[in-house]
Amino acid sequence: MEEKFFGHSVIRKEGREKVTGRARYVDDLAFPEMLHGVTVRSSVARGRIRGIRFGEGIPWAEFTIVTAADIPGKNEIALIEHDQPCLASEVINHPEEAIVLLAHPDRYLLEEARRAVQIDVEPLPAIFSIEDSIAKRVVIFGEDNVFKSYHMEKGDVDAAWAQADLIIEGEYRTGAQEQLYIENQGMIATANPADGVTVWGSLQCPYYVHKALIPLFGLPAEKIRVIQTETGGGFGGKEEYPSVIAGHAALLAWKSGKPVKIIYDRAEDMVATTKRHPSRTRHRTGVTRDGKLVAMDIDFVIDGGAYATLSSVVLSRGTIHAAGPYFCPNVRVHSRAVATNAPPHGAFRGFGAPQSIFAVERHLDQIARAINLTPEEFRRRNFIGKGQTTATGQLIKEDVNFNALLDRAFRESDYHAKRERFARENPGATIKRGIGFASFMHGAGFTGSGEVYLASVVELEATPEGIVRVLAASTEIGQGANTIFSQIAADALGIGYDRIEIAQPDTGAVPNSGPTVASRTSMVVGNLVETAALSLKRTLLDSGLLCDACTEDEFVRACRRYIETRGPLRSRSQYEPPPGLHWDDKTYSGDAYGTYAWAVYVAEVAVDTVTFEARVIDFVAVQEVGKVIHPVLAAGQIEGGVAQAIGMALYENVVWREGRMANGQMTNYIMPTAADIPPIRVFFEEQPYPFGPHGAKGIGELPMDGPAPAILNAIENATGICVREIPATPEVLMEAMTEKAGALA
Partner 1 sequence: MARLLDVLREEMHLTGTKEGCGEGECGACAVLMNGAIVNSCLVPAIVADEADIRTIEGIACGDQLHAVQEAFLECGGAQCGICTPGMVIASVALLERHPHPTDAEIREGLGGNLCRCTGYQKIFAAVVRACESINEKRPGNQ
Q: Which positions touch partner 1 (CB under 8 A)?
A: 9, 11-12, 14-25, 27-28, 179-184, 230-235, 265-266, 477-480, 632-633, 635-636, 639-644, 665-667, 671, 673-675, 677, 679-680
Nearest to 480 by CA among 721, 231, 702, 646: 231
Residue closer to partner 1 by CB (options 409, 643) is 643
φ, ψ of residue 713 in degrees (nearest 5): -65, -35
Residue closer to partner 1 by CB (options 152, 188) is 188
DSSP class of residue 228 equals E
Residue 177 C-beta: closest distance to partner 1, Å = 12
Residue closer to partner 1 by CB (options 468, 635) is 635
Residue closer to partner 1 by CB (options 230, 451) is 230
Q: Which residues are CB-neighbours of 680 under 8 A, at least 6 positions away?
A: 619, 621, 638, 639, 642, 643
Residue 22 C-beta: closest distance to partner 1, Å = 7
Q: Which residues are CB-neighbours of 314 under 8 A, at least 6 positions away?
A: 277, 302, 304, 337, 345, 346, 347, 351, 352
Residue closer to partner 1 by CB (options 636, 695) is 636
224-228/117-123 β-pairing: unpaired
Residue 675 C-beta: closest distance to partner 1, Å = 5
Residue 272 C-beta: closest distance to partner 1, Å = 15
Q: Which residues are CB-neighbours of 228 under 8 A, at least 6 positions away?
A: 200, 201, 202, 203, 206, 475, 504, 505, 506
Residue 504 C-beta: closest distance to partner 1, Å = 15
Residue 169 C-beta: closest distance to partner 1, Å = 35
Q: Is 574 left (phi over 0), alpha (psi -120 to 50) or beta?
A: beta
Residue 179 C-beta: closest distance to partner 1, Å = 8
DSSP class of residue 86 equals S
The radius of gyration of the chain from alpha carbons, rounded to an integer in Å, stands at 26
Residue 25 C-beta: closest distance to partner 1, Å = 7
Cα–Cα distance for residue pair 704/710, rounded to 1 Å:
11
DSSP class of residue 75 equals S
Q: Is 740 helix (H, G, I), strand (E, B) or coil?
A: helix
Residue closer to partner 1 by CB (options 75, 413) is 413
Own/partner long-range contacts of 4-7 (Cβ < 8 Å, ≥24 apart): 4/490, 4/491, 5/486, 5/487, 5/490, 5/491, 5/497, 6/487, 6/488, 6/491, 6/629, 6/693, 6/694, 7/627, 7/628, 7/629, 7/630, 7/631, 7/694
Residue closer to partner 1 by CB (options 187, 333) is 187
Residue closer to partner 1 by CB (options 116, 632) is 632
Q: Alpha helices of 201-352 — where are they, by DSSP H?
A: 206-217, 242-256, 266-272, 311-320
Residue 527 C-beta: closest distance to partner 1, Å = 23
Number of Cβ within 10 Å of residue 221's Cβ equals 13
Residue closer to partner 1 by CB (options 181, 683) is 181
